[in-house]
A and B are shown apart, each in its own frame.
Chain A
Amino acid sequence: MPLSARAIRTYFLLLTFLALRAFGNLCLAWGTKHLPETLAADPLVYLRSMLDPAIALGIVMLILALLVRLALLSVADLSFVLPMTAVGYVLAALLGRFFLHEVVSPQRWLAVALIFAGTALVSSTPQNTTPPSARGMIEGAK
């Protein structure tokens, strides 16, 4: 596969993953907020809640997001994928603001920005620092 086609495939998978997870979370939030009962320690309440169309859709989207992430990890390094998926924290704040009409204070935007920066930094460190017995082929990519 030529490099550009591989890059396009990688970014396509990345965008699909980000969208699926962000909107999956949104569906889940919207669905649970409109439930007549409060989710507590009772498993039955959870099972019943999964019959709600918005919650079911959210769960399906999150499962798909997990599968797309697996496909993404097969074509891209984890050290590329993790900082990119940190964008999800910003997306969650944006979706909450526009679709759920949440009030996001300047301080909360700052918090989201710090968490985004922090996770991106944590994720960009070397993948494997444990003894060589566990080392795969990732080392050769550096």
Chain B
Amino acid sequence: MIQHVGNHPFGKKHRPHEVVIETLLFLFALFSILITVGIAFILVRESFLFFADPDVDLLGFLTGKVWQPMIGLFGFLPLLNATLTTSLIAMLLGIPLGLFVAIYLAEYASDRVRGFLKPTLEVLAGIPTIVYGYFALTFMTPLLRSIFGENRVDIYNTASAGLVIGILVLPMIATMAEDAITSVPKDLRLAAYALGGTSIETTFKVVIPAALSGLSATFLLALSRAIGETMVVALAAGAGPNLTANPFKAAETITGYIVRISGGDVSYNSVDYNSIFALGLVLFVITFTLNLVSRKISGLFHQEYD
């Protein structure tokens, strides 16, 4: 028996609004590509204008040791150096602590402790970065100055900023590392126990290596986060580009510079305005690469066990 719906035999009824809705939703999803394209386009275009300026040349930019736009010096090494110093210090604090907290949470903590610790980490993760900046300026810097002496530690310094960024990324590392560790199948642990391993040996010799790709992905993402961090360095690290290996001295990072210049409001079309985009492009490339690599690595991880 064939039922007729409208003029068609029993089958798909022509529903135009379904197609419209699907197209609309597809466009929404495509919008996200538009954002990425937009970011890339703007950064590249303004950077192009920056490098087109007669005072600026690419080699000088990449290798120059002084950044002083007003007198035509555009070496970005001081800014890069400061960014790397703060990020390195942040990783030195954040990765070990974050990893240990994650191991504790995943392998050793009782349910009661977990019930208390996980929300604490969530709270820490939700605190706005400006509060961490305030903390760096009002607590960490005076602390460092009282430990190491006021003439050794400047009032603006990269160590203070780096340490606080480490605290900032700690919850993120802990949570993601814990996910990676708990994703390791129980069988592996049981096998290790069966062979007579203690829980510590199991953790370090079996679980961690098994979770390694997930953990590496976590660390790369944390590094990317630390590199892109702005408010902590804007308040605590310093206001002048400075190529130095001493973390107790003031030095401006890439992000700190962008914020300072755009806060001072540069004229559109000056070399200063374009320079913040060129630096933004560098920042984008670095963090984008780290994120991509991180994703690739954790993709490898998923393949092994699914």
Are A and B genuine complex partners?
no
B interface with A by C-beta (< 8 Å) = none
A interface with B by C-beta (< 8 Å) = none
